[in-house]
Amino acid sequence: MILFRLIVESFSFSVNSLRTNKLRTVLSLLGITIGIFAIISVFTVIDSLEKYMRNSLNSLGTNMVFVQKWPWTPPEGETEYPWWKYLNRPFPKQEDVEEIRRRSALTDRAAFIVGFNATVQFGNSTAENAEILASTYDLVDLWSLEVERGRYFTESEMLSGTPIAIIGSELADELFEGTDPIGKSIKVKGSRFIVVGEYKQKGTDMFGTSMDKRLHISTGIAASLVDFRNREMGQAISVKAKLGADNDLFIAELEGVMRNIHSLRPMEENDFAINEVSVISNRFDAFFMVFNIAGTVIGGFSILVGGFGIANIMFVSVKERTRLIGIQKSLGAKRYFILLEFIFEAVILSLIGGGVGLILVFVGTLIASGMSDMNLVLSLKNIVLGLFVSGIIGLIAGFIPAYVASKLDPVVAMNAG
């Protein structure tokens, strides 16, 4: 009980001191606030970016690959991207999808996709430069597309090129202003389409699988709008392995099928890229490790400056209250009471500064999330980390001044000028 009373009284003394010296308190807070804001901001951005990327990867699944002209990353073991080697490669064809299905025993689903931009009109409403995505039937299962209103295409509609479309939620809001788009007639490049469905809002991901801002049509009708058979337009084939299939065997089989389709000789290099979602996931680990180290170093310097600021202010505080310390000691105050008083003052200063820094980070996440598609979140882990670091910095920065104060001779202290 005595120890508890001493702690409470030390805490009370330190709070009163902070209230009395408001300007000094604010100046002390500033350094640690900037430090915590810097380090927690970096960690929050990194954590949110990692979560965003991981969610994008998980939505596709690790057994998903894209057959494309251009690889996503430089060749393994190289840092330079040799774009000139890929420039004259052929782009994927819709006919390749049928060959993959016929020849690959480990493929579950495959869809051809191509995108282009065009103006979409409904009455007097116009969406300039809207993204049009054309695909074959299996895309609904490959990308886990969810139709909120209406329906998806039938396979026969896709094959025959029926002039129907499914619209993304954001594009629907822009054109139809909140009214039901199902059954409405829209115009794309002079051709009329009937809207038969509206996709559920999903949000943008790093792979562009979100349909929120897109109009989805079949490749059968798209061929009459754009010449994707003879012109490169970002064509790709999305392929998914069967459940339980070994990923290495699946990739090797798919590579063999594509080489056979392109009639490549044994010694010839691939003239296509198989971009694996799982490879991107593995590369993220090293990427975020570097960013976390960089964030720790950047924030560490800021925290160090804040710690020196608190230590400096505490030394000034000891000097100003030397006579008071002498009086306290002459009245029976123990050394550890004086020690605790100044340590508490430093820790409280640091925690308040850290708390203000965290509030600024939280406000920043709200502003940034409102201005971008990525959701920034100040996690509980980072809140605890910020307060823990603040407390430790306060303890370290305040210990030496507190120790100096506790060692003062009461007679000398009382006579200090």
What pLDDT is stored for residue 19 in this prediction?
66
Per-residue pLDDT of 319-360, as tens digits, reads: 766 676 677 666 666 776 777 777 777 787 788 888 888 999
What pLDDT is stored for residue 274 in this prediction?
93
Same domain, 266 and 287: no
Per-residue pLDDT of 278-312, as tens digits, reads: 676 666 667 777 777 777 777 777 777 777 777 77
Backbone φ and ψ for 41, nearest 5 degrees, come out as -60, -45
Q: What is the mean pLDDT of residues 64-86?
A: 86
Same domain, 245 and 306: no
Among the residue ranges 155-159, 202-206, 213-217, 251-255, the one predicted with the least confidence is 202-206
Please name the residue that has the structure tokens 């801002």: 213
170 close to 103: Cβ distance less than 8 angstroms = no
Evaluate whether residue 169 is within a structural domain.
yes
Same domain, 100 and 231: yes
Same domain, 227 and 153: yes
pLDDT over 80 at 87, yes or no: yes
As for how many domains the chain has, the answer is 2
Q: Residue 296 is part of which domain span?
A: 2-57+282-414
Same domain, 247 and 366: no
Q: Kindly state the percentage of the chain with pLDDT values over 90.
A: 36
CA separation for the pair 220, 248 (Å, rounded):
33
Same domain, 267 and 155: yes
Question: Is residue 332 packed enough to be buried (19+ CB in 10 Å), middle (13-18) or exposed (0-12)?
Answer: exposed
CA separation for the pair 73, 382 (Å, rounded):
32
Same domain, 109 and 246: yes
Q: What is the mean pLDDT of residues 14-41?
A: 72
pLDDT over 90 at 79, yes or no: no
258 close to 268: Cβ distance less than 8 angstroms = no
Q: Kindly state the percentage of the chain with pLDDT values over 70.
A: 80
Same domain, 47 and 172: no
pLDDT confidence band for 40 (50 / 70 / 90): confident
Domain final residue, candidates 217, 244, 271: 271
Among the residue ranges 40-49, 152-161, 220-229, 235-244, the one predicted with the least confidence is 40-49
For the residues of 43-90, what is the DSSP string, one character each?
HHHHHHHHHHHHHHHHHH-TTEEEEESS-SSPPTT--S--HHHHTTPP
pLDDT over 70 at 122, yes or no: yes
Evaluate whether residue 68 is within a structural domain.
no
For the residues of 219-247, what is the DSSP string, one character each?
HHHHTTTS-TTTS-S--EEEEEEPTT--H
Residue 57 in tokens: 């990867």
pLDDT confidence band for 207 (50 / 70 / 90): low
Q: What is the mean pLDDT of residues 37-51?
A: 80
CA separation for the pair 211, 200 (Å, rounded):
8
Bridge partners (DSSP) listed for residue 134? 114, 217
Same domain, 144 and 189: yes
Domain final residue, candidates 249, 271, 293: 271
pLDDT over 60 at 253, yes or no: yes
Give the angle subtended at the CA of 259 by the CAs of 255 and 264, to the nearest 5°: 150
Domain final residue, candidates 221, 239, 271: 271
Evaluate whether residue 277 is within a structural domain.
no
Evaluate whether residue 80 is within a structural domain.
no
Evaluate whether residue 292 is within a structural domain.
yes
Same domain, 50 and 169: no
Same domain, 169 and 318: no
Contacts by residues 125-128 (CB-CB < 8 Å, ≥ 24 positions apart):
125/174, 125/175, 125/176, 125/177, 126/175, 127/171, 127/174, 127/175
What pLDDT is stored for residue 304 in this prediction?
77
Same domain, 104 and 155: yes
Collapsed DSSP state (helix, strand, coil) of residue 358: helix
Evaluate whether residue 9 is within a structural domain.
yes
Evaluate whether residue 74 is within a structural domain.
no
pLDDT over 80 at 51, yes or no: no
